[in-house]
């Protein structure tokens, strides 16, 4: 009950909403949290809007979430437990059943959603909680234990995880015809690239810098616009704000229509992606892994 209270407060963001989910009063939730804090000798919840787990509370929260995943699997084989959960019986297990993942925004916008939809149908009781980060950094969330699986560019397995190759996501350096006429009338050279504004997803994004290094063989630092959204990245290129490395699946229709053009046709970058997943024996993880590998086999190179 104490773990359920902790998980509910962090999941719902407040003691009041947690109380409604647990079918108890807010004072009962507060008492359970206080008793658990006294038991472990540390503050577990940072009160605020929303409430969040403290560094001491985070390991307990991860434990509670993994217990909930195991309980969900157990309920499938025990009709009595399943009926209690379905009927919102206050005496039944009430831990939020969350599966936390770390993914990069481009995968989410291009090929991953069918896998999540398939998983949602196969495991309707499990709620997904996605952490967005650059593919070069999602593995850090695995190392910290914040997530149980991640789409990452890291091939070597994180400790306690299995690594599965997904395929390669191709990127093309694209811009609008008007932008090309304005910034590259003299051609796409190191000099013109140094002056033409480029789009960057965030300060972790090195894709444009990598492309510039490959095509110019030198360090080129153009002015940058930060666009922390995959769709905004495409829209900004279409609007002539700057040039950027757009995923092939999103850029293809605009290239076909002529609304986008490649800066240097054929000079692409392919980012290898891997699915790193915890070795914990959780049926929900196995279902999700099957769905992710299937979607990647269909969509990635």
Residue-level pLDDT at 82: 62
Which residue bears the tokens 């980012």? 271
pTM score: 0.83
Q: What is the pLDDT along the chain (301 residues), one digit of tens a residue?
A: 899 999 999 999 999 999 998 999 999 999 999 999 999 999 999 999 999 999 999 999 989 888 888 887 787 777 766 665 555 554 444 677 889 999 999 999 999 999 999 999 999 889 999 999 999 999 999 999 889 999 999 999 999 999 999 999 999 999 999 999 999 999 999 999 999 999 999 999 999 999 999 999 998 999 999 999 999 999 999 999 999 999 999 999 999 999 999 999 999 999 999 999 999 888 899 999 999 999 999 999 9
CA distance 10 to 47: 10
């Amino acid at each position: 009950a104490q773990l359920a209270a902790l998980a509910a407060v962090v999941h719902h963001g407040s003691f009041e909403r947690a109380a409604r989910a647990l079918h108890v009063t807010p004072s009962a939730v507060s008492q359970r949290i206080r008793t658990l804090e006294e038991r472990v000798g540390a503050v577990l919840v940072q009160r605020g809007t929303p409430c969040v787990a403290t560094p001491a509370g985070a390991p307990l929260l991860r434990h509670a979430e993994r217990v909930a995943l195991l309980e969900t699997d157990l309920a499938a084989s025990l009709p009595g437990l399943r009926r209690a959960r379905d009927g919102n019986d206050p005496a039944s297990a009430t831990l939020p059943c969350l599966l936390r993942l770390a993914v990069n925004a481009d995968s989410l916008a291009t090929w991953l959603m069918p896998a999540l939809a398939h998983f949602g149908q196969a495991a309707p009781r499990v709620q997904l909680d996605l952490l967005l980060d650059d593919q070069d950094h999602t593995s850090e969330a695995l190392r910290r234990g914040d997530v149980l699986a991640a789409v990452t560019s890291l091939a070597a397995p994180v400790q306690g995880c299995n690594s599965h190759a997904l395929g390669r996501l191709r990127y093309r350096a694209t811009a609008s015809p008007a932008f090309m006429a304005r910034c590259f009338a003299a051609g796409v050279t190191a000099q013109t690239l140094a002056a033409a504004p480029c789009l960057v997803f965030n300060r972790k994004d090195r894709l444009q810098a990598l492309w510039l290094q490959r095509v110019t063989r030198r360090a080129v630092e153009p002015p940058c616009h930060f666009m922390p959204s995959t769709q905004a990245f495409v829209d900004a290129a279409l609007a002539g704000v700057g040039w950027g490395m757009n995923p092939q699946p999103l850029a293809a229709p605009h290239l076909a229509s002529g609304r986008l053009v490649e800066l240097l046709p054929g000079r692409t970058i392919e980012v290898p992606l891997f699915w790193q997943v915890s070795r914990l024996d959780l049926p929900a993880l196995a279902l999700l892994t099957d769905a992710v590998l299937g979607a990647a086999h269909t969509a990635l190179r």
